[in-house]
Chain A
Amino acid sequence: MAVASTDTAIRSSNWSRMLIYLVLLLFALFYLLPFGIMLVNSLKPLEEITGGNMVALPRTWTIEPWLSAWSTAQIGVEPTGLRPYFINSIMMAVPAVLLSTIVGALNGYVLTKWQFRGSTIVFGLLLFSCFIPFQIVLIPMARILGLLQIAGTTPGLVLVHFVYGIGFTTLYFRNYYAAFPTELVRAAQIDGAGFFQIFRRILLPSSGPIIAVSFIWQFTNIWNDFLFGASFASGGSAPMTVALNNLVNSSTGVREYNVHFAGAIMAAGPTLLVYIVAGRYFVRGLMAGSVKG
C-alpha cells in the first residue's frame, strides 16, 4: 500500500511540476518575443521588412545591417556608425560605476562602523538624494559642469552619474554593513588593523553580493540614461542611447529598420551581459552567506 501511495505522490508532483514549467515557458517566450523580433529583423535585408512580414524568419540571412549600424550608418550628420558612441558609453559607465560603488561602500562602512555625531542625518540626506527627480538638477548641474569646464564631455557625464549614484550605493552598502557584526571590527581594531585595513581585509571580502547588486543597478541605470546624456554631452561625446536616437531619427534617405534593430540590440547588449555575468555571482554570494550561519 505504502508503495502505491508514494507512486501516485510522485506522479502527481510530476504533473504539477510540468504544468509549472509550461506556464513559465510561456511567460519566458512572451517576454522574449520583442527581442526575438528585433533579432530576426536585424538579420534580414531591408526589402524583406518593407515587403510586409516582420515576424517571419529571414529568407536571406545577412549581417550587413549589423556592420552598417556598427561602423557606417549615419548618426546625425556623420556616417560613423555607433562604434564611437559605444566607446563613449563604456568610458562613461565603467568609471562612474566603479567610483560610485567604491564611495558607496566607504560611506556604508563609515555610517555603520564609525558612527559620528550627526551620521544619521548625513545618511538621511544621502537617502533623500535618491528621490530628487532628474529634471530638478539639470540646470544647476549644467552650471557646475560649465564652471569645471567639463561641459559636453565624457568626464562631465562620469561626474554627473557618479554623484547621482552615491545615494543609491550608500543605501545598499549601509544596509548590508548594518547587519555585519560590529564585534569583528572591534576584534580587528584590537588586532591592530587600521581604518582601511579593516575595510579591505575584513568587510570587503564578505561584500560580494552587495557589490554585485550595486554594479548591476548602477551599470543599468548609467548605461540606459538618456536625459543626462542628451543634456550634457553634445555631438561626438554623446553616449550610446543618444546616438541610437540619432540613428533612428536621421532623416536622410530611406529608414533602414534592419539597421535600427541591430543598433538597438547593440545598445541593450552590455546591460544584458552585466546581468547575466554579475547576476550569477549575486545569487552565488547570497547562497554562500546563508550556508555559513
Chain B
Amino acid sequence: MGFLDIRNVTKSYGSVEVLHQVDIEVQEGEFLVLVGPSGCGKSTLLNMIAGLEGITGGEIAIRDKVVNGVHPSKRNIAMVFQSYALYPNMTVAQNITFGLEMHGIPKPDREKAMASVAGLLQIGDLLGRKPGQLSGGQRQRVAMGRALVRDPDVFLFDEPLSNLDAKLRVDMRTEIKKLHQKLGTTIVYVTHDQIEAMTLSTRIAVMYDGYVQQLGTPKDIYDSPANLFVATFMGSPAMNVLPSKLVERDGALHVLVSDSDGRELALRVENAPASYAAYKDREVLLGIRPEAITDPDGADRNARNVRPMTNTVGVTEPAGADTFVTMALSGKDCIARMRADAEVHPGQPFDFAVNMDKAVLFDPKTEDRIA
C-alpha cells in the first residue's frame, strides 16, 4: 500500500478511452514525474488525482482512503497550474490565504501560516501586490506558496515551469528540488520535458498514448528502457537506434552493424542475458546512447566491455563541454559524444570506443527491449 495509490485507473471521454489501466503506487515523500509527449494523458491523470476530472474505472486512494467522487477541496491536495491560475483581483496575500479562508481557518492562524510560507519562498515584500504586477518567476513562487500554505498530503504540479524562459526554468527547477528535499512532501509532477523529469524525480512514469510505458527510477528508465519509445523519448540527444544482426562468432555473441562504406563491423557482447540466445541470427535494433560512443581516451574507465570501432566522421558539432560527431552506421545517422578537445575531422576515419555495457537490444517487431 502506497501513500497515493492509483489502481487500474481508466478514463474515457464518450466512447474514446484516453487512459488505459494506469497502475501506480506512490510512497510517502516520493517525487513522481509523469512525462510524455503532448496528448498522452498526463494532465488528465493529474486532474483525476485532484478530483477535477471524474474517474471512469478503477480507484484512486490517498492515505488508504479511496477518494473517487470526493470533492477536490476534501482530498487534502494542492495543485500548481501551468498558467499559475492566480486570482487576478486579489493581492498576493489574499491569493495565498484564500484556500484557508474557504476552509474556515480563523484569521490569526491564516496570517501565521502565510508569514511562514512567505519567509520560505522569500515573497514577503510582494504580499500587497496584484498578480498583474509580478514577473513570471514571482508568480510561480506565489503559486507554490498558495499550494504550500495548505500543508497538503500530496502536491500536484502541472507543467509549472513551461511558461518561464530557459534560464529561470533551470533556477526554479533547482528551487523545487530544494523545497522537496527540505519538506519531504509527496509530489506528483507533470512535464513533457525529459530533462526536468530526470533531474527532479525519484521515480518517473513515462506515458504515451494513454499507457504507462515504464515506471521506474531515473536510472532504470535511462539505462534499461522498457521499449523503443522510452529509449528515444528520454535523453538528449536521443539514443541511437541502429538496424543490426545478432550472430555468434568464436563462441561469443556479436552485434553486426555496417560502417559508412557498407563494410561489416562486429561489436562483441559480454554477459549477454539468456534471452539473447533466442535472437541469434535474427535482425535486432541496437540502441546505444551518444555518450557510449567516444574517443578512446574519453571512454568510461569503469566499463568492462569497451569495443574499438573505426568509422568515417560525418559532421562535427563542438558544443563547448563536448563535441558531438555524426556518422553513418547501418545506414542511419549515429551521434557520438566526444571530449571537447578530441581530434576529430570531418571526412577522416576515426577510431571510436564503444561502451557495449550500455548497449541495449530491441525486438524490431514488438519494439520491446530484449532482456
Contact = CB atoms under 8 A, between A and B. Distances in A.
A189 B72 contact: yes
Contact of A205 (B47, B89, B146): B89
Given A192-B103, A197-B102, A187 B85 contact: yes
Contacts of A197: 102
Given A181-B83, A293-B132, A188 B89 contact: no
Contacts of A293: 132
A192 B103 CA distance: 6
A188 B87 contact: yes
Interface stretch (B34-42, B74-82, B358-366): B74-82
A206 B103 CA distance: 23
B228 interface: no
Top 7 A-B pairs ranked by shortest CB distance?
A192-B73, A191-B99, A192-B102, A205-B89, A183-B85, A187-B85, A292-B132
B98 A188 contact: yes
A193 B87 CA distance: 13
Interface string B47-89: 1001110000000000000000001110001110111010111
Contacts of B103: 192
Interface residues of A, number: 19
A183 to B, nearest CB: 4
Given A189-B73, A190-B99, A201-B87, 7 more contacts: A181-B83, A190-B52, A190-B73, A191-B73, A191-B99, A191-B146, A192-B103
B315 to A, nearest CB: 43
B98 A191 contact: yes
A284 interface: no
Contact of B81 (A187, A193, A202): A187
Contacts of B72: 186, 189-190
A291 B72 CA distance: 33
B85 A189 contact: no
B154 to A, nearest CB: 12
Contacts of B98: 188, 191, 193, 201
A292 B88 CA distance: 9
Contact of B85 (A184, A192, A205): A184
Contacts of B99: 190-192
Interface in B93-120: 98-99, 102-103
A54 to B, nearest CB: 52
Given A197-B102, A292-B132, A293-B132, A190 B89 contact: no
Contacts of A181: 83, 85
Interface string A181-213: 101101111111100010001100110000000
Contacts of A191: 73, 98-99, 102, 146
Contacts of A190: 50-52, 72-73, 77-79, 99
Contact of B87 (A184, A186, A291, A292): A184
B83 A193 contact: no
A70 B236 CA distance: 82
A204 B99 CA distance: 18
24 contacts: A181-B83, A183-B81, A183-B82, A183-B85, A186-B81, A188-B98, A189-B52, A189-B71, A189-B72, A189-B73, A190-B50, A190-B51, A190-B72, A190-B73, A190-B77, A190-B78, A190-B79, A190-B99, A191-B73, A191-B98, A192-B103, A202-B87, A202-B89, A206-B89
Contacts of B77: 190
A183 B139 CA distance: 15
A190 B73 CA distance: 4
A190 B52 CA distance: 8
Contacts of B102: 191-193, 197
Contacts of A206: 88-89
A190 B99 CA distance: 8
A94 to B, nearest CB: 26
B89 A186 contact: no
Contacts of B73: 189-193
Nearest to B83: A183
A26 B146 CA distance: 56
Contacts of B52: 186, 189-190
A291 B50 CA distance: 32
Nearest to A202: B87
Interface string A276-293: 000000000000000111
A201 B47 CA distance: 23
Most B CB contacts (10 A, CB to CB) among A184, A190, A206, A293 go to A190
Interface in B125-146: 132, 146
B327 to A, nearest CB: 47
Contacts of A187: 79, 81, 85, 87, 146
Contacts of B88: 184, 206, 292
Contacts of A192: 73, 99, 102-103
